[in-house]
Structure 1
Amino acid sequence: MIRGGKSYVTSPPAFSNDGKKLLVCTAETVSVFSTSTGLQITSLEGHTALVTTVIVVPAWNPASKILCFCWTASLDGTIRYWDFAAPELMKTIDVKIPIISMVIPSILVQPSMESEKRPDLFAYLSTEDVKESKEEGNALRRQIRKCNLSKSRLVGLILGEVKQQVVLTVSPSAKYFGLKNKCKLQIWKVPAKDSDNAIVKKISLHHTKKISVLAFHPNQRIVAAGDVTGRILIWRLFGDKTFSKNGEKNERPMDTGEEKPGVRGDDDADSCSTWHWHPAEVNVLSFSSDGAYLYSGGKEGVLVVWQLDTGKKKFLPRIGSPLLYFIDSPDPSLSSICCADNQIHLLKMPSMEILRTISGIKAPSSYHEMYKGLNNGVAFDHTAGLVALRTENYCIQLYSLFDDRGVSEVQVCERNHQPGDDVMVVVTLVALSFDGSVMSTAEIKLAEEGIGGLICLKFWTSGFQNKEFSLLTIVYEPHRDAAISAIAFHPSGHMAVSSSYGGDFKVWVCNNDNQKDQMLQNSSWTCHSVGSYKKKPMTAAAFSADGSVLAVAAETVITLWNPDKNVLLAVIGETLMPIVTLSFIGKSEYLVAASWGSKPQLSVWSMSKLSAAWSYRLQIEAVATAVDLSSFAALALLPESSNETTFQERDGLILLFNAKDAVPVATWSAKKAKGGALAFIQTNQSSTEEIGRDGTPPRALLAYVNGDHEYVLFDPYNKDVQELSISHKEIHATPEETGRARQFGYASIYGELPQFDLKRTDTSWTPSFPSERPWETIFSGSSHNLPPLTKLCLPFLESLLEKRTAAVE
């Protein structure tokens, strides 16, 4: 069974010590990606619930080879210690309470070489005790606890209680950690010599609005917080009274006669200043490693860099999705930002250029019900194992089900997307040809006050070496002002049909179908014929396996046509409610139809007898058929009454039928079936290993994509449903990954220089040529970001010289 489509952005990721790997919390696992390729290297598997925290152990002595250890925490109530290079689980601590967040301040401080005995390692946890809440009703069940990692036990001390789930934030100096609690910050000071009974002091800083995020300065007593209105507050010298007792030296002389500007009430801080640029809630706050800059971001999808001393700012605009996290890397030339659309962008610093993107599957679009068809904006490439999904930013995402990663994106509508804006364009339909080389989309530009509405039908083509689609044809108002109900492709891919609620359907043909091996740049799609039946709305369409018959649903009846001659062959039906999907089964001996409405129905029709074979009164969400199989699968929604008793939060059933028999061959319960999709995916040796009972791969896997775009692929004919192992493409390590742990000088800031190899003889699919003047952009950037010439001169000159090794006689 292949699972995928999990979120990469439920929790902040973490860089390895050399900056060459990124550890990402992915549901119950931690996925390890290469920062040089953006591809997954390995994963840490062992947790049984959502992983909420991953913390990489710093390597203070690179010679000790301690470069690849991390701590993880999960809702399963365990803390685990890993060697993520192996990967191997080293230690498990069961605290028996779901862990929302975890910080380990003491690992951020370089251990002292003087002490012979290593002190105990302590973690501070944000926990949620579900059992306690059920027994005590309204009792507080979310607590801040302390755990002795060295002795694998919780400390009895409870540092605080809150009414909501909170995330802990630790300062880079390891002296403080804190959390946001409604309109205030709560900050604890980590004891200098931590122990089970050590006293942990706490202060609170208040604000008038709800606080959404906080960040600590790396080396000064400064804390920043963002609120829901878009403001950023910066408290300086917080805790100067509370935390500076017992002989600790104050950072400023005590002056009780002077008022504290911007500080509310008796809050323990020297001053509080406010910045405001963001128009909505601030989700991201992070200080640079040297503390000179503050990074912020939010719903508008813009990363802002503030100069802390002056308040001046610069921007990385048009990211296209709300920002969630900003993570610095030990490599000063690399950072990452996580976005709400399940993408992680790796940035080249300080220019903030996006180097590459780790693309997860995007969340479903929040469209109105009237724009959702039975396919829920999902289409499948049955031969390559790809799925096409509608996204919020007027795009279609192509996602690999076998590799669990994004392949490409198609910008359907050339329109700047601003998160939070009113949706004025809706991509209503997406369809792929059987081999995935041709795509068709339908979009609606919504009318404003009854003026300006427009419907477009578009045809796209892609090369066979990649899935980068290019636009071929745009058809404005293909069915006058009526909306398009369905799009279906001929098995050859050079003919398509679009049906409309206006009472007609149109057959489209590609006028250049002979140049199959070329990018059909000069091709176009034209209307071949138009058909209708008694002016009824045409609600669904499908081609037979050989393309000789076209079935079009005229509301409650099914009409059969010759697509080449546009001749009506037969009419079968009738159903009680409008038909919303049609699909031929196997060699087109049967036709399956699904109806929506107050009396939903799943019906199977015999093409030889032109009559109904059998039917069920079921609410069908999706139907999947395969060309070479005489069976089909249907995703049925369960009544709400049955969900409460038998199926335990599972709202759907996947039913596998043989077309000749009304009794299901197999059934599986499913979660989040509303908005789900089904498809049979062809398999081969390159995608799966031998797993079948006879030692061969199954002919087809059944893919189920649920309403949250999480998916599973399995062999529907294997009752054991054995695990499918994926055969990933070989990932070659780059020289940077096998070389030094860190880079210094010129390369660490600007990257490696282009290499000119005159003896190069190998070729590639995409030829690349070095720039004739590569030195023009070397020193581009803001002046305050550039290091002095005295530091750049030596690495710059060394990069121009060829190093040779000479044998010493």
Structure 2
Amino acid sequence: MTTNEPEPRRWRWSPLTDSSTSLHPPIFTRDGSHFFSIVGSTIKIYSATSGKIISTLPGSQDHGHTDIITSAVLSPQNAFQLITASLDGTIKIWDFLEGVLLRTIGLDQPIHHVCTHEKIKDHLFVAAVKNKKSDSPEKAQRPSQVVPIGKTRTTAGLAVSASGERLIAIAGHKAYVAPISNLKSGFTKFVSPEPLTCLAVHPFEDYFATGDAKGVVRLWYCLDPKLVKVVGVEKKSQTSMLHWHAHAVSSVAFTTNGAYLLSGGEESVLVIWQLHSGKREFVPRVSSPITNIVVSPSRLAEEEYLLGLADASYAFVSSATLKLSRVFARIKLDPLVSNCRPSSSSTPLAFHQPSETLVLPSSHPSSLQTYSPSTFTLLGELEVSPSNRVSRREDKVLEPARVERAVISSCGEWMATIDRRESDENFRGEIYLKFWYWDKKLTFWILNTRIDRPHGLAKVTSLSFRPGVEDAQVVTTGEDGNMKAWRIRRMRNKKGSEEVSWTSRSSFSLRSDIPRHTSWSHDGSLLAVPIGGSIVIYDPNTNAVRESFVIQECRQPFEAHFIGRSGRYLGVIGGEDLVVWDVLSQSVTWHQKNQYRFTMLVSHPYHDTFITIHSTVLDFSSSSVTLFRATSPIPLMEYTLPFGVLNVSWFYQSSLPLSNDFSLVALTHKYDVVVMGDNVILLEDPGASAKAVQKCPAAPRRSLFEEMFGVPAITSLGNPNEQTRETMADLGSGDGVTVPWRSSDTTNFFDAPSHLMPPIETFFEPLIDSFLRLRTTDDESSAAQAVAEAEDDMPVDPTRETDPVNVSAVSNEAILDVFVPLFQEIADAPGYAYRTDKTIAPSKAINGTSENHTKPISQAPTKNSVRSEIRLSPDQSAPPITTKTGEKRSRASLG
């Protein structure tokens, strides 16, 4: 049987940010000015300096991956091309400067890893799964050559050795090594005592590092061809062990000079290992577990370490100071932190109208974050309940305190939160009601009052501010059956200044039933509370019951909301029932029974309309929104949303006038934050589309002479507008020059860990000399004053004009020509300590050239192989790209 009923139309909605995190490490461009981040089936291009998203691949004109992207590398043939691999069985080559797709290669097998090497530019090595069939697009090209190498379990890493002679893969308890010159011989297996989780190859020497599930970092010395004599069998390799982590190591990386190894994991600590000595240094408390580590190219500045964190943020660590130099974060949401998914009632969500920011749950359940939807930036993170975020591996996972509720007053000056920690066999439960004051100068929330156990050990079921009153008032309900009101208390201290805090105003209850929801009228004169099977309306000034009624059509009401500005109607939902009650006539206006259970009701703050939200499936993957008028049971409109809704809040937009339309912000079942409504302005992320990557102005590089002796003063005089590279701190080292003292400079002396700092008595002289100037004696000052007076009394010929001195710029070559004879004379002196008469043999290889390392690659296929090596055929031409005549592409900035 078919019906002609129209399908519900989709409501307008727009995601504020993508909360999914990437397990694949980001990829830097050759010059380190940008890096690529994998987010689902897209690639986001970030600026390494500002952290802004410059572009997103694919663009609207290209067909991107249809499944999750699992790996990405820069093309060895062209540094301005990016190669991506996906579970859809395709490999795509992108021109990231122009933001266009160049080629698509189909394998018909889900791909998990891909790697390349500079010495093998025409080949790709991929790890693919053969038990699943993936349909590649019809236009996808086929590789000219596919060479199976061997079979492994699900790979955790794939790389080529520094020499380009060995292919390395890790999977399960084994490390697999295959000679690239003889791929048909297959893998040699080396056994690890624990499951391997990550892989990194030394940049110069033939060995690699792995991390395992027990927190051990191992260095494997098994790439010597003399040691690998028997293939296809399990062997043990010579290794060295580095152990500090208590949990699994999620990522390892070598520095560019190969002297240090970086490791990180669940402890939120970056460990820097000095390989030749085994010593280690730490960068603690990076705010979230580390998922991947990448070392940035150090061409123009100092080397930096980029940390990809579990809360979808990125942190840069300076290699010189071992401190966080900058953190790039949007919305920090990580539902994987908790073992159980919280309910909609325990998911805090609020909108702060004065600052137009959102208050959201953060990556840790004991914290909140403030986010600006207009600028797509994270403004701050508020730790509501301090807690230990890491436990020992053998111990039970610590149950953190969770922020269950957060509401903001209508004036925006106060915020109230509820955080709770469950009890166990060793500790009693904790629950706190906290009041926060909005500091306009700091533009942040400041803790004002903490109330322990507002309802004893019982759980708080609702929390709401009273609107429309001068002094804010809060009402809470609990599972102890009580309702409590809280007010502001103002007192003057001994100094005469006013102190503001919160205290209990009253406590009352009606029946033995548990109240679970409260709703205020628009002017704050009435309070509606569902209790058991009835709705009770209170006078908040006297706590007297104004009205109590039982709705026969809704036996178990769990929410009751005043509708509109007048407050005449009361919308009640309970199970599958929806009832609108007329408060004046004390009767049911209309009743409707739904097929599914209602999850929430949201009233319009200015008009007599409201919406109901219910999920149509058990997994909450979609929702239905129905718009009603308070006087009619006929829906005005029905909408569908492709996600479930955990919590919703009204989203005030200053650019929109007051109207009948709805404007809401919601937290979905996948922890995405979306804006939805009738006439909501769909916010557009400036980096959400594919755009051409603009060139960044390159920072001036110092010459070797400038690194040794500084920038010559005569060079800077040649260009008055050019700022010298020396800072004020450098000027302070001269005689008679004093740098203005700042209090922050003193605190920087003690930023380092105490065990790494020199004795405290050694700080006194440098600290005092840094901001105090030596006082001259009276004789010296009088002599200087006499000289100054003598200069002032010198006769000046007013008719004669002094010709301006023409100071021309001097090149670095001219300066070096002056000092080269001096250096030669010193070096040729008989008493020169570093003089040597040995003749240095010329190098066999001239700088800039390399020997030919190309080796024949076997083409004989192996049956039932999963590991594949792909040859990129040069005769397969890429699709033509339209270019304008007379334009020349400049690629000097990213090379």
Task: Please report the TM-score for the alignment, with normalisation by the length of structure 1.
Answer: 0.74
The correspondence for 1:50, drawn from 55, 68, 86, is: 68
Please tell me whether the aligned partners of residues 149 and 184 of structure 2 are also in contact (alpha carbons under 8 angstroms): no
2:169 corresponds to 1:179:
yes
Partner of residue 347, structure 2: 376
Task: Measure, in 2, the Cα distance between the counterparts of 1:781 and 1:805.
Answer: 50
Partner of residue 308, structure 1: 275
Partner of residue 672, structure 2: 710
Partner of residue 720, structure 2: none
The correspondence for 1:410, drawn from 346, 361, 382, is: 382
Partner of residue 569, structure 2: 590
Task: Measure, in 1, the Cα distance between the counterparts of 2:532 and 2:153.
Answer: 53
Task: Measure, in 1, the Cα distance between the counterparts of 2:753 and 2:728.
Answer: 20
Partner of residue 342, structure 1: 312
Q: CA deviation at 1:327?
A: 0.8
The correspondence for 1:33, drawn from 40, 46, 51, is: 46
Task: Measure, in 1, the Cα distance between the counterparts of 2:144 and 2:440.
Answer: 57
2:332 corresponds to 1:361:
yes
Q: CA deviation at 1:492?
A: 4.8
Partner of residue 864, structure 2: none
Structure 1 residues 632, 235: closer, same or farther in 2, change over 3 A?
same
Q: CA deviation at 1:305?
A: 1.8
CA deviation map 1:346-402 (0-9, x unaligned):
111143211222224312376687974535333344672524215435111223445
Partner of residue 616, structure 1: 593
Q: Which has the larger radius of gyration?
A: 2
Partner of residue 605, structure 2: 627
Task: Measure, in 2, the Cα distance between the counterparts of 1:370 and 1:70.
Answer: 37
Structure 1 residues 399, 77: closer, same or farther in 2, change over 3 A?
farther
Partner of residue 164, structure 1: 154
CA deviation map 1:305-347 (0-9, x unaligned):
2222232222222334322101110034311112222222111
Residue correspondences, number: 693
Structure 1 residues 240, 191: closer, same or farther in 2, change over 3 A?
closer
Q: Which amino acid aligns with 1:716?
A: D
Structure 1 residues 314, 186: closer, same or farther in 2, change over 3 A?
same
Please tell me whether the aligned partners of residues 126 and 167 of structure 1 are also in contact (alpha carbons under 8 angstroms): no
Please tell me whether the aligned partners of residues 98 and 127 of structure 1 are also in contact (alpha carbons under 8 angstroms): yes
Task: Measure, in 2, the Cα distance between the counterparts of 1:756 and 1:573.
Answer: 76
Structure 1 residues 452, 54: closer, same or farther in 2, change over 3 A?
same
Structure 1 residues 501, 295: closer, same or farther in 2, change over 3 A?
same
CA deviation map 1:417-447 (0-9, x unaligned):
2257321533332223346543211122443
Moved more, 273-282 or 774-783: 774-783
2:662 corresponds to 1:650:
no
Task: Measure, in 2, the Cα distance between the counterparts of 1:170 and 1:461.
Answer: 56
Partner of residue 389, structure 1: 361
Partner of residue 141, structure 1: none
The correspondence for 1:510, drawn from 488, 497, 519, is: 488
2:491 corresponds to 1:480:
no
Moved more, 392-401 or 282-291: 392-401
Gaps of 5+ in 1: 60-65, 110-118, 135-144, 193-197, 246-262, 514-519, 644-648, 730-734, 759-767, 785-803
Please tell me whether the aligned partners of residues 203 and 242 of structure 1 are also in contact (alpha carbons under 8 angstroms): no
Structure 1 residues 492, 284: closer, same or farther in 2, change over 3 A?
farther
Aligned identity (percent) is: 22
The correspondence for 1:95, drawn from 106, 117, 122, is: 106
Structure 1 residues 539, 715: closer, same or farther in 2, change over 3 A?
closer
Q: CA deviation at 1:652?
A: 3.6
Partner of residue 490, structure 1: 466
Q: Which amino acid aligns with 2:262?
A: Y
Q: CA deviation at 1:567?
A: 2.9
Please tell me whether the aligned partners of residues 409 and 468 of structure 1 are also in contact (alpha carbons under 8 angstroms): no
Q: CA deviation at 1:483?
A: 1.9
Q: List aligned pairs for 1:115-514, cutoff 5 A.
A: 121-128=122-129, 132=133, 153=143, 155-164=145-154, 166-171=156-161, 174-190=164-180, 202-241=187-226, 267=235, 269=237, 271-331=238-298, 332-359=302-329, 360-364=331-335, 372=343, 374=345, 376-381=347-352, 384=356, 386-389=358-361, 391-392=363-364, 394-418=366-390, 421-423=397-399, 425-434=401-410, 436-449=412-425, 452-464=428-440, 467-492=443-468, 494-511=472-489
Partner of residue 20, structure 2: 7
Please tell me whether the aligned partners of residues 106 and 140 of structure 2 are also in contact (alpha carbons under 8 angstroms): no
Task: Measure, in 1, the Cα distance between the counterparts of 2:147 and 2:571.
Answer: 63
Q: CA deviation at 1:709?
A: 0.9
Task: Measure, in 1, the Cα distance between the counterparts of 2:443 and 2:349.
Answer: 16
The correspondence for 2:808, drawn from 792, 806, 809, is: 806
Task: Measure, in 1, the Cα distance between the counterparts of 2:341 and 2:87.
Answer: 38
Gaps of 5+ in 2: 1-12, 492-496, 689-693, 709-724, 732-740, 758-805, 812-895
User: Aligned to 2:425, what secondary structure does the other structure show?
Assistant: coil
Task: Measure, in 2, the Cα distance between the counterparts of 1:161 and 1:436.
Answer: 61
User: Aligned to 1:560, what secondary structure does the other structure show?
Assistant: strand
User: Aligned to 2:437, what secondary structure does the other structure show?
Assistant: strand
Task: Measure, in 1, the Cα distance between the counterparts of 2:751 and 2:69.
Answer: 41
Please tell me whether the aligned partners of residues 604 and 615 of structure 1 are also in contact (alpha carbons under 8 angstroms): no
Q: CA deviation at 1:156?
A: 3.2
Task: Measure, in 2, the Cα distance between the counterparts of 1:58 and 1:601.
Answer: 64
Task: Measure, in 2, the Cα distance between the counterparts of 1:706 and 1:547.
Answer: 30
- The higher-RCO structure (CA 8 Å, 6+ apart) is 2
Please tell me whether the aligned partners of residues 577 and 591 of structure 2 are also in contact (alpha carbons under 8 angstroms): no
Structure 1 residues 559, 466: closer, same or farther in 2, change over 3 A?
farther
Q: CA deviation at 1:19?
A: 2.5
Task: Measure, in 2, the Cα distance between the counterparts of 1:544 and 1:130.
Answer: 61
Structure 1 residues 120, 446: closer, same or farther in 2, change over 3 A?
closer
Please tell me whether the aligned partners of residues 498 and 507 of structure 1 are also in contact (alpha carbons under 8 angstroms): yes
User: Aligned to 1:374, what secondary structure does the other structure show?
Assistant: helix
Structure 1 residues 401, 178: closer, same or farther in 2, change over 3 A?
farther
Q: CA deviation at 1:778?
A: 12
Task: Measure, in 1, the Cα distance between the counterparts of 2:440 and 2:160.
Answer: 49
Q: Which amino acid aligns with 2:676?
A: F
Task: Measure, in 2, the Cα distance between the counterparts of 1:744 and 1:483.
Answer: 67
Task: Measure, in 2, the Cα distance between the counterparts of 1:400 and 1:130.
Answer: 45
Please tell me whether the aligned partners of residues 603 and 615 of structure 1 are also in contact (alpha carbons under 8 angstroms): yes
Aligned-pair Cα RMSD in Å: 4.6
Q: Which amino acid aligns with 1:293?
A: Y
2:690 corresponds to 1:738:
no
CA deviation map 1:714-748 (0-9, x unaligned):
34369xxx96535799xxxxx99523387899999
Q: CA deviation at 1:167?
A: 4.5
Please tell me whether the aligned partners of residues 577 and 600 of structure 1 are also in contact (alpha carbons under 8 angstroms): no
Task: Measure, in 2, the Cα distance between the counterparts of 1:438 and 1:27.
Answer: 38
CA deviation map 1:43-68 (0-9, x unaligned):
22343443333334589xxxxxx875
User: Aligned to 2:133, what secondary structure does the other structure show?
Assistant: helix
Please tell me whether the aligned partners of residues 94 and 103 of structure 2 are also in contact (alpha carbons under 8 angstroms): no
